[in-house]
Chain A
Amino acid sequence: MSGMDPALKPRLRRRSTFEYVAWVVCSLVGLGILISVSTNPNFKWGVVAKYFTQESILRGLMLTIFLTLASMALGTLLGLALAVMRSSNIKPVAATAGVYITLFRGTPVLVQLIFWFNVAALYPNLSIGIPFTDIGTAIDVNALMAPITAALVGLTLNQAAYMAEIIRGGFTSVGKGQIEAADSLGMSAGMKMRKVIIPQAMPSIIPATGNQFIGMFKETSLVSVLGVAELLQSAQLIYARTYETIPLLIVASLWYLVMTLLLSYPQSKLEQKYSRTSSRIPRRAKKVVLTAPEGMAR
């Protein structure tokens, strides 16, 4: 109670007893885990370090990145087509997309992957040609559905179903008035989609797509069951030989974690950028000088 100016005294946050207890408990538990992890020789951190940048692991990582990029790109394109179909007012078209989405979202990805790998059991030969003529070729489906193809097909078709729902959600976020304005100007359905609906749906589609991307990166580990030598499978191949199971799972996990963290930064930037759309002023609007030209007074 000295002579300090009451106007300058800081206002302190109230800390509850629970807060102090939480600090103590969490610190102790955290410290315990840290000591255990670093002193338990079975973790074999030396092995982790040795394999972290090993060539087959890095090749596996590259394949994981490739599978993620390829299935996201193809899945998004197919998803866009499905979303447009689903929004069609021609019943059979909308229903087809609806059935597709239900099937692919309603069954596990793992099951779908194994299904595509074994699809040759259903259709051993695929013939491409002009109906009722002899022109065309037959393709051996068993040879076509190599593990990597099956992986790509499975991930893409599954992703398309999820992307279709995200994109369609974006479409429905565009106000009815916008569509009426486009209609009253006489725009065709395609024009309306390209110039009015899709540009305005982007702010809600892009952040959700970023999330899917990060999810897909981890989802690719499922294709290890098909024997595709992506990141997880590469680790498995090594520990099958050396029996250093845990250290190699740590190697794979660390890579997944690193990549996810790297991706989550641009993702959070994207989310920030597109959540500021209440004002709905596109980026390039900045070049406009905000002073009142003539006619403002009217």
Chain B
Amino acid sequence: MSTDGTIHARAIRKSFGPKTVLKDIDLDIASGEICCIIGPSGSGKSTVLRCINGLENVDSGVLKVNGENFGYYETDTAYHALPPKKLAEQRTRVGMVFQQFNLFPNMTANENIMSGPVLVKGQNKKQAMKRAHELLASVGLAGFGDYYPAQLSGGQQQRVAIARSLAMDPEIMLFDEPTSALDPEKVGEVLAVMQDLAKKGMTMVVVTHEMGFAREVADSLIFMDDGYIVERGDAREVLRNPKEPRTRAFLDKVI
């Protein structure tokens, strides 16, 4: 991990029309930290993730990703939106894995993985292909490079999607319910890849309902409800002994 890999947020607010989905969110995620965000649907946990990657803009507050103001530059009086090129550059340093995989169906697994390095970074194809093979092998899919997404199972597609994000050499990886769309028996293979990644020191923020993964892999845990962070702390500690009644009520139902 080259430069930073940290996320800092102060008093982030975000509304969709009249509905406020993030209310004064503070975050401090250290380099190499594995942070799981849990909570009921509609609690704002996915929105937090999407803000860190610029898929949504925050309305107010401070958001620093990899040590830089994300998507904006700061002057004495305001935050000004960055030009698209700058924003794209910042985004390449934050990988995003989606619930629905979102592989490009018109490209093979190799082409999907190479799309970032070749199309965005202008890397030469041969090098990118070599890297794609290595990445596929690292997610347990060596030899699947010429397959189209439709020829792969959900678990395989999600692993290709992880490889595609990794191909950009991001400092931070965001996972938005990466196993929620999978057959129960395919969940393990994706979690295993994520666990490997965690061991390599990648900063990871994972929105998930997999409490087992949170317990075994995560350093910290955040419980969100109704746009607020209700409780946060050491993952195992929060899961074993939640302090807030709302957290306890939620955990009682899902575990």
Contacts and interface: CB of A to CB of B under 8 A. Distances in A.
Contact of A188 (B84, B108, B147, B149): B84
Interface stretch (A136-144, A245-253, A261-269, A282-290): A282-290
- Which of A175, A181, A293: most chain B Cβ within 10 A? A181
Contacts of A177: 98, 100, 102
B106 interface: yes
Nearest to B50: A180
Nearest to B53: A184
B105 interface: yes
Nearest to B54: A183
B206 to A, nearest CB: 16
B143 A180 contact: no
Contact of B143 (A181, A280, A282, A295): A295
Given A185-B92, A281-B151, A180 B102 contact: yes
B55 A183 contact: yes
Contacts of A36: none
B147 A186 contact: no
A188 B88 CA distance: 7
Interface in A92-135: none
Nearest to A187: B120
Contact of B148 (A184, A186, A187, A285): A285
B6 interface: no
B219 to A, nearest CB: 24
A288 B151 contact: yes
Contact of B120 (A185, A200, A295): A185
Interface string A29-68: 0000000000000000000000000000000000000000
A11 B104 CA distance: 48
Q: Number of contact residues on B: which range applies?
A: 35 or more
Given A184-B55, A195-B119, A280 B148 contact: yes
Contacts, number: 98
Given A180-B55, A184-B53, A298-B189, A280 B91 contact: no
Contacts of A185: 91-92, 115-116, 119-120, 164-165, 168
Given A288-B147, A288-B151, A184 B141 contact: no
Interface string B84-103: 11001101101110101011
Nearest to A298: B140
A186 B142 contact: no
B237 interface: no
A140 B88 CA distance: 49
A182 B149 CA distance: 16
A184 B96 contact: yes
A157 B102 CA distance: 37
A127 B168 CA distance: 52
A298 B115 CA distance: 25
B116 A186 contact: yes
Interface string A184-204: 111111010001100110000
Contact of B144 (A186, A188, A293): A293
A181 B103 contact: yes
A275 interface: no
Interface string A140-179: 0000000000000000000000000000000000010110
Contacts of B96: 180-181, 184
A287 B161 CA distance: 23
A282 B91 contact: no
B128 to A, nearest CB: 13
Nearest to A179: B102
A16 interface: no
Contact of A200 (B88, B105, B137, B142): B105
A295 B84 contact: no
Contacts of A17: none
A244 B168 CA distance: 74
Interface string B140-168: 11111011111100000000010011001
Nearest to A185: B116
A282 B151 CA distance: 11
14 contacts: A177-B102, A178-B102, A180-B96, A181-B104, A185-B120, A185-B165, A186-B88, A280-B106, A280-B148, A285-B147, A288-B146, A288-B148, A290-B151, A293-B143
Given A180-B96, A183-B55, 20 more contacts: A180-B98, A181-B98, A181-B161, A185-B92, A185-B119, A185-B168, A187-B88, A188-B120, A189-B84, A191-B119, A200-B104, A200-B105, A279-B150, A280-B105, A280-B150, A285-B108, A285-B148, A290-B151, A295-B143, A298-B140
Across the A-B interface, give the 10 residue pairs with the lowest CB-CB distance, nearest first: A293-B143, A186-B88, A181-B102, A184-B96, A177-B102, A186-B92, A298-B140, A280-B105, A185-B116, A199-B106
